[in-house]
Amino acid sequence: MAPLTSSTRELFSAAVRAVLDTWPVLQIAVDNGFGGAYSQQKAEWMVDALQQYFIENDDLQQDEVEDFISELMNNEFDTVVDDGSLPQVAQKVCEMFQQCQQDRLKEVREQINQLIQKKSAGRAKVTPAKTPAAADDDDDEGEDEEAMECDGPADGPSVNSAAAQEHHLPQPANREEEDDGWTVVRKKK
């Protein structure tokens, strides 16, 4: 295949940027600072590194590109990609590079525009789910926290243990609180 001209290189660079900008794994890594304080700069550098990898290596195979991107993600963002998206990203970049080499620039521009539209439609975000109690808290911003506390003494018996004592039920003694705050309930022996 013919080497890329400077204008075709610029188009391929825009294609790589569009693919990486719409890749949820990379966007989550950047948004959450997996690459440290310079996560955004590392993502931009990845575009140049991937473009240069294609320019310097002839006849790249998809698995080689997957390995290269995987290594970049691991080294720069401490992220192992195992969600199945890596082959799709590598395939898309390989496909667009071949189209650039074959001078099918109109197709590449169309794909870039589609990816940009996809990006503007919405990025992948990790947001904590609101619990019903948290949703109620948002509505009652003016109320004090004390209004939500129980009326009974803090160190007194809980409702469940009081009910168990009243009905002479055995207390569940098989509960242990782990260091991380979870309560482990073990089966009776």
Query: What's residue 169's pLDDT?
Result: 47
Burial of 164 (0-12, 13-18, 19+ CB in 10 A): middle
The larger pLDDT score, comparing residue 155 to residue 106, is at 106
H-helix segments, 105-167: 105-121, 132-139, 159-166
Express each pLDDT in 43-96 by its tens digit: 999 999 999 999 999 889 999 999 999 999 999 999 999 999 999 999 999 999
Q: Are 46 and 20 in contact (CB under 8 A)?
A: yes
Amino acid (one-letter) located at 182: W
pTM: 0.61
pLDDT bin (cut points 50, 70, 90) of residue 150 is very low
Q: Under 8 Å CB-to-CB from 96, ≥6 apart: which residues?
A: 12, 15, 16, 19, 108, 111
Give the Cβ contact number of residue 124 at 10 Å.
12
Amino acid (one-letter) located at 90: A
Express each pLDDT in 134-144 by its tens digit: 444 444 444 44
pLDDT surpassing 90 at residue 179: no
pLDDT surpassing 50 at residue 148: no
Three-state SS across 4-51?
A: CCHHHHHHHHHHHHHHHHCCHHHHHHHHCCCCHHHHHHHHHHHHHHHH
Query: What's residue 122's pLDDT?
Result: 63
Amino acid (one-letter) located at 16: V
- Name the residue among 155, 160, 149 with its Cα closest to residue 185: 160
